């Protein structure tokens, strides 16, 4: 691996930086392994993506770089936060197109993360003020949001009947089809962080007695039906999934997270998904790193596709994960939010802009969104 390496960032070094080596993700040729995390930014008025997102995403695009779009609702019952985008209407699909085009114009690969929040919602965000839906009717206790400033209030959810679940599966299928129509290269199914799919998987939440509750197999049935429907609709080469078996976000913990993670990746192997994006056990709650005896390594070894990791990574940590073969790609959230040219900064080992939590979720189309400086601006 010796000798000088000249990359697209004009950096030569004795040995390649692991994060900046090329990688083949299914049919996509990546030029590096630094991935933009799916980050909720709450700047999509009336759940419609806005033109200011064109600049935001294109700023963070590199030729051969993978970007995962912010969590995007699959239906009008999917929303849990104000001003988050959806992809269930024609208007939303059309609004995504110029954003996707801008990423493609710079040679980026763009996946749309599709989600349903389930019980992490309230009647004010639901059609006709109805109750949010979930696997359970157990309510969530009020929680401080991940910016650390606001306290979210949740309404008591309505337990989905067995007969209603196929309709939600279908909502995910149609959202995936719409994402491809909008031009996205693929979709990431959001099966993490205490949202609807995670609510079904985790035994601290799922208290059902039908075929969607009880055993591990039953609890994973709905998420895997979503996977199957989307694979059938758009092809496995365009489908990834995000999972957080170890996390306890939104009171969605599990008594045996390692068994859950292994069961899911072994089940996903049957569908040939292009990637599995997993959250590190050290991220038990939003933004808080803690010591954990657990590891994603068993899941990494069991999964046959590309394995992507997220959760509290910095440059050194990410390089080590790739060098030690614990991951193929590494996802960066807050650091990519604050450093639109993060791959270049990593290449040069340049200092990073600090992120400002107070502007993560404000509705401003520029402040804390597209105004973080590039390296050239700071040099």
How many whole angstroms separate alpha carbon 253 and alpha carbon 369?
32
Task: Residue 190: name the closest of 243, 232, 229 by CA.
Answer: 243
Distances (CA, A) of 81 to 107, 202, 257, 355: 31, 22, 27, 21
Take residue 239 and report the two structure tokens written for it: 């489908």
How many whole angstroms separate alpha carbon 313 and alpha carbon 326?
13
DSSP 84-118: --B-SSHHHHHHHHHHHHHHHHTT-EEEEEEE--T
Q: What angle do CA 109, 178, 213 make, to 5 degrees?
A: 100
Distances (CA, A) of 38 to 93, 155, 233, 242, 348: 18, 25, 22, 10, 25
How many whole angstroms separate alpha carbon 158 and alpha carbon 138?
9
How many whole angstroms separate alpha carbon 109 and alpha carbon 223?
25
For residue 342, the SS3 value is helix
How many whole angstroms separate alpha carbon 67 and alpha carbon 109?
6
How many whole angstroms separate alpha carbon 379 and alpha carbon 376?
5
Take residue 341 and report the two structure tokens written for it: 């040219």
Take residue 162 and report the two structure tokens written for it: 């067995």
Element (H, E) at 179: helix 165-181
Sign of dihedral through CA atoms 353, 357, 73, 228? positive
| Residue in 9, 56, 57, 195 annotated catalytic | 195
**8 Å CB contact between 231 and 273:** yes
Residue keyed to tokens 């692991």: 18
Confirm whether 355 is a catalytic residue. no
How many whole angstroms separate alpha carbon 297 and alpha carbon 82?
36
Residue keyed to tokens 């799922």: 206
Tell me the catalytic residues: 195
């Amino acid at each position: 691996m010796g000798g000088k390496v000249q990359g697209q960032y004009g950096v030569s070094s004795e040995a390649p930086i692991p994060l900046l080596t090329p990688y083949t993700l299914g049919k996509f040729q990546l030029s590096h392994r630094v991935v933009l995390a799916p980050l909720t930014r709450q700047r999509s008025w009336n759940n419609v993506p806005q033109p200011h997102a064109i600049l935001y995403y294109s700023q963070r695009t590199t030729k051969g770089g993978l970007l995962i779009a912010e969590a995007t609702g699959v239906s009008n019952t999917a929303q849990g936060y104000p001003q988050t985008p959806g992809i269930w209407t024609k208007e939303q699909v059309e609004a995504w197109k110029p954003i996707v085009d801008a990423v493609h114009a710079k040679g980026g690969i763009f996946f749309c993360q599709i989600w349903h929040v389930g019980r992490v919602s309230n009647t004010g965000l639901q059609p006709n003020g109805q109750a949010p839906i979930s696997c359970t009717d157990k309510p969530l206790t009020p929680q401080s949001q991940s910016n650390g400033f606001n306290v979210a209030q949740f309404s008591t959810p309505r337990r989905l009947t067995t007969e209603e679940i196929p309709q939600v599966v279908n909502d995910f299928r149609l959202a995936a089809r719409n994402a491809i129509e909008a031009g996205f290269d693929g979709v990431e199914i959001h099966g993490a962080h205490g949202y609807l799919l995670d609510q079904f998987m985790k035994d601290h939440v799922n208290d059902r007695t039908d075929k969607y509750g009880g055993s591990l197999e039953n609890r994973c049935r709905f998420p895997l039906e979503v996977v199957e429907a989307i694979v059938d609709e758009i092809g496995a080469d365009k489908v990834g999934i995000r999972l957080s078996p170890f996390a306890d976000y939104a009171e969605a913990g599990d008594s045996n997270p390692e068994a859950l993670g292994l069961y899911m990746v072994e089940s996903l192997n049957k569908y040939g998904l292009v990637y599995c994006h997993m959250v590190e056990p050290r991220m038990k709650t939003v933004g808080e790193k803690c010591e954990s005896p657990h590891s994603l390594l068993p899941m990494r070894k069991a999964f046959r596709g590309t394995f992507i990791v997220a959760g509290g990574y910095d440059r050194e940590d990410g390089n080590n994960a790739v060098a030690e073969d614990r991951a193929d790609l590494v996802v960066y959230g807050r650091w990519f939010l604050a450093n639109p040219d993060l791959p270049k900064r990593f290449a040069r080992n340049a200092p990073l802009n600090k992120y400002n939590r107070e502007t993560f979720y404000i509705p401003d189309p520029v402040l804390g969104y597209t105004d973080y400086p590039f390296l050239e601006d700071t040099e």
